[in-house]
Amino acid sequence: MAPILQLRGVKAFYGALEALHGIDVAVEDGGMTVLLGANGAGKTTTLRAVCGMVRSEGDIVFAGERLQRRSTEAIAALGIAHVPEGRGTFVGLTVEENLRLGAYTRAGKPHDAMARMYGYFPLLADRRRQQAGALSGGEQQMLAIARALMMAPRLLVLDEPSFGLAPRVVEAIFAIIERIRREQRVSVLLVEQNAGLALELADNAYLIETGYVVASGSAKALADDPQIRRSYLGY
Amino acid sequence: MHLFLQQVCSGLASGAIYASLALALVMIYRATDLINFAQGEMAMFSTYIAWMLVNAAVPFWAAFVLTLIVSFIGGMVIERIVIRPVENAPVLAAVVVTIGLLLIFNALAGWLFTYTLQEFPSPFPDRPLLGALLTTRDLGVIAVTLVMLALLFVFFRFTATGLAMRAAAQNPASARLCGIRVGRMLAIGWGLAAAIGATAGIMVAPILFLDPNMMGGVLLYAFTGALLGGITSPVGAVVGGLIVGVTENLVGTYLIASQLKLTIALVLIIVVLVFRPNGLFGTAMVRRV
């Protein structure tokens, strides 16, 4: 299977500061790739480079298209839906308006897609007229994922979906991500602190430290690596 | 009692004009965190365009619509050429740019059209209504404002572009991730604000007479209205504008000489800032540091 997203020798910059020093990452078509690493290692920066939110060098290729020099909004229109750190919901808009915005790049009425999202996330259906800011953290994360899926993306980019959520909610969210991945055939690039859970679900994993990829391989292989187990899984 | 009601009604008419301009200010503020000090002078310039068209024997309402279209395009062009370069500059730089625009439009109008007061036709006849409580002209001004507000409400509430503009104003980074071209939304916002301002200018010109300084006082009242309503709230801008209009008229009638009316705006600004800085409908600004 050819990768749907391929990063080759990617460097990323915040101003003059180089945050990524030439990394290679791939996401298989229909697969799920997880980026692991400590805070400040460059995981979020990698996602931002993909979506054109930071300046980058090297090759970032999505479904045959080079992404560099494209604007964030143009990259989104190509079929990459990014759920950013901190969820990025429009807190002053209603749940339904958030979902409508997700479908902004798609022609036609989004009713079918919206009904499907309410099927995945029944909680959101009950609150469709409420402001997104009134939702709990877990509900906002669900809304953020649902909004991203409204785009009918080929690649879903998730930045720490478990952040600040209770373990039970995290499990529920990952169960839905799994189901959506199967049913909608969407590839996933995930950044996650909960390494145990992430390695269980993902196909491939990359370990990033201080802007370099220091280990990569199948998720299973990384989960079995004694050093990674000690540092990131705690057993 | 009759005098009181009369003053309330004519206050609502001028309040409707302030409300329109206040709404334009709030739209720009929500989208860019910027008070556009040139909003009044842009409206004045638009009014001159309408005046030229009317003088060229274009029917009034055709001139009105044409002026709104020209103002919309002009507002978008100003955003592209003048505001975009200072988009990421400190807010003070952007504010100074809008003050520069104010001076440019004022001087340009003086140069092109002279500083002489010009008579501007009203589309509404000036006849008393309801036992002279209000005039048909007041009613016309209020009606035009209400129609404009209704159209804006429908646009922002029910159209994809309107929703995208609200999203872009609220969270530009997320809006981009949804595929929304935030820059274009800002330009449309400036265009809309310019068109709303033009409506205010055309409605007020028959009362104040047209000259390059016509909108100075109106902008101050509009700013007071926006602040009173809560600078982030469109509904607040409208309510605030109406309250300012009525207050101005009542205080000018009963308490102080009408030459001092403009002071009321300044006093109201201070009162709002001291006692209720978020205004009537505004939300408190919370910033994490």
Please name the member of B160, B171, B182 whose beta carbon is closest to the beta carbon of A90: B171
Min mean pLDDT across A177-191, A214-228, B154-168, B236-250 is at A214-228
Single-letter residue type at B43:
A
Query: Any chain A CB within 8 A of the CB of B185?
Result: no
% of chain B at pLDDT higher than 70? 97
B contacts of A89 (beta carbons < 8 Å): 174
Q: What is the DSSP letter of B280?
A: T
Measure CA of the first residue to CA of the last residue in chain B; give whole Å. Answer: 54
A contacts of B177 (beta carbons < 8 Å): 51, 72, 76, 81-82, 84, 88
Mutual orientation of helices B160-170 and A95-102 as an angle, nearest 10°? Answer: 100
Inter-chain contact A73–B163, Cβ cutoff 8 Å?
no
Pairing between β-strand A155-159 and β-strand A187-191 as defined by DSSP bridges: parallel
B contacts of A102 (beta carbons < 8 Å): 178
Closest-CA residue to B19 (of B221, B194, B270):
B221
Single-letter residue type at B127:
R
Give the ipTM: 0.88
Q: Return the pLDDT at B285.
A: 55
Q: Return the pLDDT at A95.
A: 92
Q: What are the tens digits of pLDDT across the range B210-266?
A: 889 888 888 999 999 998 888 888 888 999 999 999 988 888 878 777 777 788 888
Task: Give the mean pLDDT of B44-62.
Answer: 92
Please name the member of B160, B166, B176 whose beta carbon is closest to the beta carbon of A73: B176
Inter-chain contact B170–A73, Cβ cutoff 8 Å?
no
Query: Cα(B120)–Cα(B112) distance, rounded to whole angstroms?
Result: 17
Q: Sheet with A212-218: list strands edge to edge.
A: A80-83, A155-159, A187-191, A32-36, A204-209, A212-218
Inter-chain contact A84–B174, Cβ cutoff 8 Å?
yes
Query: Cα(B213)–Cα(B110) distance, rounded to whole angstroms?
Result: 9
A contacts of B171 (beta carbons < 8 Å): 88, 90-91
% of chain A at pLDDT higher than 90? 21
Question: Which of the pair, B4 or A231, is modelled with greater confidence?
Answer: B4
Q: What are the tens digits of pLDDT across the range A100-157?
A: 998 888 876 778 888 888 988 888 888 989 988 888 888 899 899 999 999 889 999 9
Residue B171 and residue B165 in contact, taking contact as beta carbons nearer than 8 Å: no
Does residue A25 have a pLDDT over 70? yes
Cα separations (Å) of B56 from B53, B62, B189? 5, 12, 30
Residue B44 and residue B201 in contact, taking contact as beta carbons nearer than 8 Å: yes
Query: Any chain A CB within 8 A of the CB of B159?
Result: no
Query: Any chain A CB within 8 A of the CB of B184?
Result: no
Q: How far is B182 from chain A (nearest CA, A)?
A: 8
Nearest chain A residue to B157, by CA: A97
Name the pLDDT band for A234 (thresholds 50, 70, 90). low
In sequence order, which residues have a C-beta less than 8 Å from that of residue B166 and are 6 or more positions away?
A: A90, A92, A93, A97, B156
Does residue B53 have a pLDDT over 50? yes
Please name the member of B167, B179, B182 whose beta carbon is closest to the beta carbon of A93: B167
Q: What is the DSSP letter of B285?
A: P
Does residue B273 have a pLDDT over 80? yes
Q: What are the tens digits of pLDDT across the range B29-48?
A: 888 878 899 999 999 999 99
Does residue B289 have a pLDDT over 50? no
Does residue A189 have a pLDDT over 90? yes
A contacts of B175 (beta carbons < 8 Å): 90, 101
b/e per residue, A144-178, with b = 16+ CB within 10 A? bbbbbbbbbbbbbbbbbbbbebeeebbebbbebbe
Q: Return the pLDDT at A109.
A: 73
Please name the member of B160, B174, B176 whose beta carbon is closest to the beta carbon of A90: B174
Inter-chain contact B179–A105, Cβ cutoff 8 Å?
yes
Query: Cα(B218)–Cα(B245) distance, rounded to whole angstroms?
Result: 10
Inter-chain contact A76–B179, Cβ cutoff 8 Å?
yes
Q: Return the pLDDT at A220.
A: 83
Q: Return the pLDDT at B267.
A: 84
Single-letter residue type at A211:
G
Question: pTM for the complete prediction?
Answer: 0.85
Does residue B287 have a pLDDT over 80? no
Q: Return the pLDDT at A1.
A: 59
Instruction: Give the residue carrying structure tokens 């030439």.
Output: A22
Min mean pLDDT across A96-105, B19-28, B131-140, B205-214 is at B131-140
**What are the structural domain ranges in chain A?**
3-79+153-233, 87-147
Angle made by CA atoms B219, B30, A157, in degrees to the nearest 5:
165
Closest-CA residue to B40 (of B27, B21, B14):
B21
Rg, Å, chain A Cα set: 17
Fold of A3-79+153-233: Rossmann fold (3.40.50)
Closest-CA residue to B78 (of B63, B97, B60, B92):
B97
Query: Cα(B207)–Cα(B18) distance, rounded to whole angstroms?
Result: 13
Half-sphere exposure of A150 (CA within 13 A, CB side): 32
Inter-chain contact B178–A101, Cβ cutoff 8 Å?
yes
Residue B222 and residue B136 in contact, taking contact as beta carbons nearer than 8 Å: no
Q: Return the pLDDT at A200.
A: 86
Residue A8, H or E segment: strand A3-14
Fold of B2-275: ABC transporter involved in vitamin B12 uptake, BtuC (1.10.3470)
**What are the structural domain ranges in chain B?**
2-275
Does residue B135 have a pLDDT over 70? yes
